[in-house]
Chain A
Amino acid sequence: MTSAAPVITAWETYSPLGHGARPHLLGLRAAGRSAQPRTSVPDFDVRAILGRSGTRSMDRAAGLAVATTRRLLDRAGTADAPLGGYAPEDVGVVLGASDPIQSVMDFLRDSWTRDKPYDVDPSHVPRTLMNFAAGQCAIWYGIRGPNATICGSHATALLTLNYARRLQRNGHAKAAIWGAVEELSADRAAVESARLDGGAGRPAGEGCVMFLLEPAASDRPALAEVLAVEFGVWSGTDQIRGALAGCLRRAMVRAAVRRDEVLAVAPLSAPGLRGSAERAGAADEIGDVPVLTKTADAIGDTGAGSAAFQIVELLAEGAGSGRVGVVTTADGEGRVGCALLRIY
């Protein structure tokens, strides 16, 4: 096992605020000025962005993931060293994702409405599987190390970070391209809206963020060091506050981080009780620190991608500080989670 904490050395995105890290950060700076959060990645036409070849049977989530991976590789690699200097076998891909609701329901609609129940398009089979997008990232860029897909509601991106961290820590990959994706589609919006138990949610949003995780000894300057990732579980909403505070406490102890080192916290900020309990739990453990909410203000609910966008906001806010940024989440299924990042 490698003992030194791994580092995030690059990130890229397609977000409702634009194509790439720069427009996303500019959009975050202007957050709060528009009344409504933006929900869809503007002008994201998979075929226009990735070309006509190999994109015919892609769903939007795979398109976003492949396009974001390309941006990340453009940022971290060169023509001579396309995967940031790593051999294809040494790089893992770990993608957080949710159920491909639109692809599955389209596929099933064909089965229910055509003459025969099996009269479905076989070329649409791969995209009905949750691991399709991660596999596409590997195929498009020849990334042959471990390829994994991770799923866990709003905790997805933190679970994905932890998976990538353990891959690297346990010698399965030297570096990992990890991140999370969510697509906005009519069926996903309808299903997610039906899942909400009465209370209003943020409008469904979409986007993808991909990060490069490398060993501490990387030549590239670190944007952040991954100090700890922790989780917990609650059964009733009255337990969220305590569950998150306990989760943060374990993370702080494990990483030997003091309260006064914490720069800011970036919560999921779900509407209603869950969001207020999340903030209260964080405050219980780390005290009165700035709470970052530009992401929640500026873009819709990016589901599986949400914590990845929260990390991006922390990286931007804390750049150059050398202090610790905290990401928290409390999903609707019983998970709480946090990550501690020392931001450079």
Chain B
Amino acid sequence: MGHDPPPAASARRRVVITGIGVISSIGTGVAEFAEGLREGRSGARPITAFDTAGFAHANACGIPGFVPERWISRLDPAELGRATQLSIASTVLALRDARLAPGRLRDQRALVAVGTTYGESGELDRIVARQVASGTRTVDKPTAARSASSRLSADVARELELTQAEAVTIPTACAAGNYAIGYGFDAVAGGEADVALCGGADALLRMTFVTFYRLGTIAPVICQPFDRDRKGILTGEGGAMLVLEDLDAAVARGAHIYAEVLGYGLACDAHHPVAPDQEGITRCINQAHINAGTAPWQIDYISAHGTGTKANDVTEAAAICQVFAGNLPPVSSLKSMLGHAMGAASALAAAGCALALENGFIPPTINHAETDPEIGIDCVPNLARPAELRVVQNNSLAFAGNNAVLILGRFAAGLA
């Protein structure tokens, strides 16, 4: 990249994205998802996943018509919570996209890393609802069995019979997808895994809606990141898993390469359980660049965390402006289209970044009328923009001050 790699990077293998599996409110599979991003499709619709009586407004970005049986064959979908179903289904899609038969991976060293915020808390809600309705403390056994968030990763490995897999759930809230992809990168780059299946999954839950409604951060109809009239988030759901492989192995098997993972950074605010912190975000961005061997001026596009809340957008934009002073690239928020899919959000956005690199466009921030004057960025309003992207940055910030920033680069012979 024209920079000396950091010491930590000198011995590592190059890691590329060779498969993408996405199940989202704007499309299932790579083609539909990419088309949705390019068209600026909105996933917002009335909530049907749970009873919304008592709430003044109830829009969210749910996935219409998700049929887990289409993708899950070995395990019984009825024995899996929805987040686990999304996790498995998006992994199956990713492997098909990568043209990797699970049998081929069976005896390879694999890392399965699934990020999530609420995991299977929806099953705990079912238990509580039944307890309250019945006036007992009875716990339904099948529901209890489905309620462990640790299963999001284990069941991917079981469905695919990956006998040598390390199956880990990374519940680092709304930055979890980036954490999982970063972890996959480290495992493959360090030669400790042949393949990493990594990303995030979260289901549209009553609990999530209750939480953000109570915090006063749910937008009534649409999500408008960076807009002066933004009213908050829409909750969402999704599954997004990536296949990461060592570059040489990918080339040797003739795999299609979407993008190269250049590196990532993590940093903790150590400041407040829920409020974002500018210093923590800037430090995280800088860490990501050190790890990736890139510099801010090389970044052609930033996929922002961009939730659409007052607090997030101002703080995040200020951090970006601080790091990128004078070299500010376009910055858009996929959450304007996808809502906030929690632990899946940054994995969906990473998939979006890879598709943007491959297809030469910048996904827009939709629902945009007028940029908040406190936010001095070009948010790519409403329409996707053609652009030859070389290096892009994917931001994610989370409650508990868990920040994770991922750097992806276009892969082309002779580029790197």
Contact = CB atoms under 8 A, between A and B. Distances in A.
Contact of A135 (B153, B287, B400): B400
Interface stretch (A9-17, A125-133, A263-271, A290-298): A125-133
B163 A243 contact: yes
Interface string B269-286: 111111000001001000
Interface string A168-212: 011110000000000000000011111101000000000000000
Choose among A92, A108, A113, A122 the residue with the greatest number of B CB atoms under 10 Å from its CB.
A108
B161 to A, nearest CB: 6
Given A108-B128, A122-B214, A125-B215, A145 B8 contact: no
Contact of A145 (B118, B150, B213, B267): B267
Interface residues of A, number: 80
Given A190-B139, A246-B163, A334-B167, A135 B210 contact: no
Interface in A147-161: 147-153, 156, 159
A250 interface: yes
B207 A334 contact: no
Contacts of A308: none
B402 interface: yes
A20 interface: no
Contacts of A235: 158, 161
Interface stretch (B36-44, B184-192, B305-313, B324-332): B184-192
Choose among B141, B172, B401 the residue with the greatest number of A CB atoms under 10 Å from its CB.
B172
Interface stretch (A45-53, A68-76, A136-144, A310-318): A136-144
B148 interface: yes
Choose among B141, B158, B280, B400 the residue with the greatest number of A CB atoms under 10 Å from its CB.
B400
Contacts of A107: 207, 211
A213 to B, nearest CB: 15
A144 B149 contact: no
Interface string B8-34: 110110000000000000000000000
A4 interface: no
B168 A151 contact: yes
A130 to B, nearest CB: 4
B283 A166 contact: no
A131 B291 contact: no
A89 interface: yes
Given A125-B274, A147-B402, A191-B127, A335 B164 contact: no
B171 interface: yes
A120 B207 CA distance: 11
B129 interface: yes
Contact of A170 (B129, B145, B154, B186): B186
Contact of B187 (A119, A148, A166, A194): A166
Choose among B120, B140, B166, B269 the residue with the greatest number of A CB atoms under 10 Å from its CB.
B166
Interface in B311-355: none
Contacts of B8: 1, 170-171
Interface of A: 1, 88-89, 92-93, 97-99, 101, 104-105, 107-109, 111-113, 116-120, 122, 125-126, 128-132, 134-136, 138-139, 141-153, 156, 159, 162-163, 166-167, 169-172, 190-195, 197, 230-235, 243, 246-247, 250, 331, 333-335, 337
Please provide the 9 A-B residue pairs with the shortest distance between their CB atoms, ordered closest to farther. Answer: A135-B400, A171-B8, A147-B268, A146-B266, A130-B171, A194-B144, A231-B166, A194-B139, A126-B273
